[in-house]
Structure 1
């Protein structure tokens, strides 16, 4: 059987009556032979939205669903060694990328035989493998991917071309405004990918017709933010958004999630731009894209800085020449639209104190601007990836630190035993600073559970240390961190795994609610990008090891989750907030895995405020203006809660406490090595 590059494709299936997709061959490709029998697999195009197509892998025999191992035996294609003709090489490279992406997202087969449900933009893909000794693999991407690309020179469009069906045509420009053209293209070509690039960077870009192959679902927007250093373009925004991990410089050697969408090069689907909305009130293209990214991540948009858009390393001189900071006018409007009027005043004061610039005129003008109307908000739901019918075949360990809550832990273990996707192992770290007891999980109870329980008792207390011990003892592909006083639905673990597979992310935060609340409102929301980690988070064990676990210097400071999440992001991992299966957090009044932590400044007079650990965590990652923005916020908040007539006495006290906090924060050595292995480690004896 020979391979083929598809120009059209359609198909459907039903139990006992499987119909193969119809395809018109564009040109034949010689495919390698299999090393042995392979399962008979058919990949059918599935229209998930008007603008996006995905995949479904269907077995020819619904009574014998294929396994991930079976699909793994499908032969790959290597254009460099299999003897393909030169004109076929590019198509096969595209096919390889799609095929590998599909194989990474195999899920358990339900009764109807569907193995995979994955979105790949608006590509139409078909794969067919016959169960015979010389079985052949044919996988290719349709040439009917529609792309519109705009070339920009010094802030103005210079040419626009449209490509569909392999044919490229130039489009007459309607205006000399990049923003005007971009908005018009998104409306005029609703089923196309919209790409943009700076003319100076063009020699170093990968073929733009290949850019859509890097987009994994319709809500992804790929760009070159980390290469342009977009964080420097909005540096003073850190005065306002001083908690954001997105304003930190990111890596250039890997895909990196950031809402700072670069104006020098990028691609996204028109349907996503229309759904989130484009604000024509901005005068700079970069400001429009930053606004799009900031609002978009709150609705499910997934912007990434993607080095794959380049075909090589671009000269640093050219990239530095493309770093055009946002004007104060654009920044003021961005702050007004996204943060509100009160933060305009805050930004103006901070700029005067720390930048020696007082943008009063820009702030006043922006304060009189209203919010722009967005007409396509109702479209965003249709663009979210469809979750797999069943959780992916993988392994999960659950880590639960606890202290003095045996009944809560027992209930949580029972909830885990009812999961539709069972964990491989539950690692229970019981902190017992007093005499060690076996009251939390007796051996007789553990034997009734459908998973292994690795129950450790330690003679110390510490949230970071307990989690690190649990992570060090984990061995599965994924790790789920849980508080000990939560209750889970039977589908929680499966839901988190499905979200991670559908959106192709490394970490997923669960949503929690309290007993006085209901989770109904949360369950109706779609997953979206989250700034950091929470108490309930599922992440790949490999990225956790690459991030180097929790920082134990933050023990007792209530900021370890945030700091760990920042390092996950800086390592290239995206973190989603997935509220579709809410978790009940009981907020038990005592116990848990926290206990008053005795810091070395406990007897300091005056007491350092804010916590030195909090200042240390900020100094560890945040640039100078973000740290100064927080300092200004802290001082104004303290003064705002004090009557004005007391300020002459309160100001010196605040200054002394702040200086003390800074002094102690500086003494927390960033290079201090703390072992993960804990002393006084014991296992519970059997009953």
Structure 2
């Protein structure tokens, strides 16, 4: 491990195993690359000299437990980029929970670290960047989709409290960052959003951003860096499976057969069968008439809804891991075995696996392992203890957003979600069962129909920043204009605002739902 202490974008001293090592008087960015080339097997830690006494050496090895991790922590209330970055990115990586380890590309120069092999793979392409914070944000933003796991990690510092200090949030810098890391169209949307929601005309930052080109890097840049986590997350490897089902007896039976043939057998299967007909009884006779190599817990309820069903199932989990499955999937015999191999290599406690319908084009499938901005309720394995205090929000019942909201609850509790393209799950997307009824939504008969769906709005209110919600509103305005019948722009603007307000109203009503 090498620690680089710095101040004002300049290196003060470099220490390795308690001894000082020589360094050139180059910028801190160039010095990082130079040190990485000399010590390619080391973890490189940077720390502002003011936080030297607060650097938590005892947590370093645990935080950087494999080679594709980048972590930092910003103890200040303000971020390096202004909150307006939310106008151009709707992901969960913008609104950072600083009280727990949280996935984000927003890095800090105060304290952080990265493995030397990652910088070596970059081959010094960032020498020209003088601003250390900008450099850290840039490589994290570019490499996160390529498989680098990036975190805000409060355990990097000890004996401190969050510091109230104003940092310079340059609008010029923001426009430059957007121009270099997003499609060019986003700088115009950023300009428009400043005008619409802050009544500010950012003409000069917009013009100056054209002096910069978008930064591009090789898609396979990090593929040669091997991963084997030093952290142990599997104790027993025992796993339960939860499956909500409604009217798919044949498909569910096929899922159970696939699970019974697994080379890594699950311990318990928890099935929540729903049938809203008051006089109905279970149609899953094969649960008891056939012999299965695992225990089956069968819950029958007249209350329909995936959120309620999954909550009932979560309450019955007994083992270390849980596979959250659908009732219309198919699995290869070694599916769970391969899942645990991935979990062990990455020390991942929440993983969503590739899940595709039959005939899905191979060239459109996601091939990279990376931090997933979503969550799949029918194709994920999670550590059971991590969801013991988490439930699906009933406000999302019969709508959209319960999966992504559940994922956000995990992240805000300090539990990241990774995506693994393999092993794949085949999702048959079976037709709805014969007794499925379309629910009557509370707003269905409103004269002004909400736009977007109130459950979509509920997710955004609960989990996104104000700027992210406003940025989404602008994009939705333009997208919806093409699809609706009102072509008079002034009438459309008035109608859209009414629909938006209606959506906010119903989202707040759903939020109060118990």
The farther-off stretch of 297-306 and 502-511 is 297-306
Do the aligned partners of residues 258 and 651 (structure 1) sit closer, same or farther apart at CA in structure 2, a change above 3 Å counting? closer
Map of 1:29-108 to 2, 5 A cutoff? none
Q: Distance in 2 between the 1:311 and 1:443 partners?
A: 53
SS of the equivalent of 2:240 reads strand
Mark the structure with the bigger radius of gyration. 1
Cα drift, residue 558 of structure 1: 1.1
**8 A contact 1:402–1:430 mirrored in 2:** yes
The structural deviation recorded for 1:286 is 1.6
Q: Who is 1:285 aligned against?
A: 132
8 Å CA contact retained: 1:231, 1:247: no
Q: How has the CA–CA distance of structure 1 residues 632 and 561 changed in structure 2, closer, same or farther, with 3 Å as cutoff?
A: same
Q: Which residue of 1 aligns with 2:42?
A: 192
Aligned counterpart, 1:235:
83
Alignment of 1:483-562 (within 5 A): 483-517=326-360, 525-534=367-376, 535-546=378-389, 548-562=390-404
Counterparts in 2 of 1:346-365, with a 5 A limit? 346-365=189-208
Give the superposition deviation at 1:344.
1.4
- Give the structure 2 partner of residue 271 of structure 1: 117
When residues 521 and 482 of structure 1 are mapped into structure 2, their CA distance, relative to the original with a 3 A threshold, is same
Q: CA deviation at 1:436?
A: 2.2
Give the counterpart of 1:335 among 169, 174, 178.
Answer: 178
Deviation readout 1:647-673 (Å, 9 max, x if unpaired): 233222222222221222222344x54
1:571 is matched with 413
3-state secondary structure, aligned to 1:539? strand
Change (3 A) 1:419 1:631: same
Residues 219-256 of structure 1: CA deviation (Å, up to 9, x unaligned): 1223214x3356573411111112x112123143x433
Q: 2 CA distance for matches of 1:302 and 1:554?
A: 30
Q: Is the 8 Å Cα contact of residues 215 and 221 (structure 1) preserved in structure 2?
A: yes
Partner of 2:21: 170
User: 2:7 maps to what in 1?
Assistant: 153
**Does 2:429 match 1:587?**
yes
Contact 2:481 2:487 in 1 (8 A): no
Cα pair 1:608 1:659 within 8 Å, conserved: yes
Relative to 1, partners in 2 of residues 1:153 and 1:167: Cα closer, same or farther, differing over 3 Å? closer
The CA distance in 2 between the partners of 1:460 and 1:439, in whole Å, is 16
CA contact (8 A) 1:335 1:344 kept: yes
Alpha-carbon distance in 1 for matches of 2:499, 2:62: 55
Q: 1:403 to 1:467 in 2, by over 3 A?
A: same
Counterpart among 284, 290, 296 of residue 440 in structure 1: 284
Task: Determine helix, strand or coil for the equivalent of 2:273.
Answer: strand
1-structure distance, mates of 2:436, 2:326: 11
- Whether contact under 8 Å (1:436, 1:457) holds in the other structure is no
Task: Report how far residue 645 of structure 1 moved.
Answer: 5.0
Distance between the aligned counterparts of 1:662 and 1:376, measured in 2? 40
SS in 2 for 1:635: helix
Specify whether residues 642 and 611 from structure 1 end up closer, same or farther in structure 2 by C-alpha distance, changes over 3 A only. closer
SS at match of 1:420: coil
Q: 181, 187, 206: which is aligned to 2:31?
A: 181
Deviation at 1:620, TM superposition (A): 1.5
Q: Give the unaligned 5+ runs of structure 1.
A: 1-145, 674-687
Measured at CA, do residues 627 and 645 of structure 1 come closer, stay the same or move farther in structure 2, by a change above 3 Å? closer
User: Could you tell me how far apart the structure 2 residues matched to 1:213 and 1:397 are?
Assistant: 28
Contact 1:283 1:330 in 2 (8 A): no
Gaps of 5+ in 2: none
Matched, 1:405 2:248: yes
Q: Which residue of 2 aligns with 1:461?
A: 304
Query: What displacement does 1:552 show?
Result: 0.7
Q: TM-score, normalised by structure 1?
A: 0.69
SS state at 1:429 partner: strand
The aligned residue for residue 24 of structure 1 is: none
Q: 1:157 to 1:659 in 2, by over 3 A?
A: same
| TM-score, length of structure 2 as denominator length | 0.90
How large is the Cα RMSD of the aligned pairs? 2.9
Distance 2:436 2:400 in 1: 10
Residue equivalent to 1:127: none
Structure 1 residue matching 2:266: 3-state secondary structure = coil
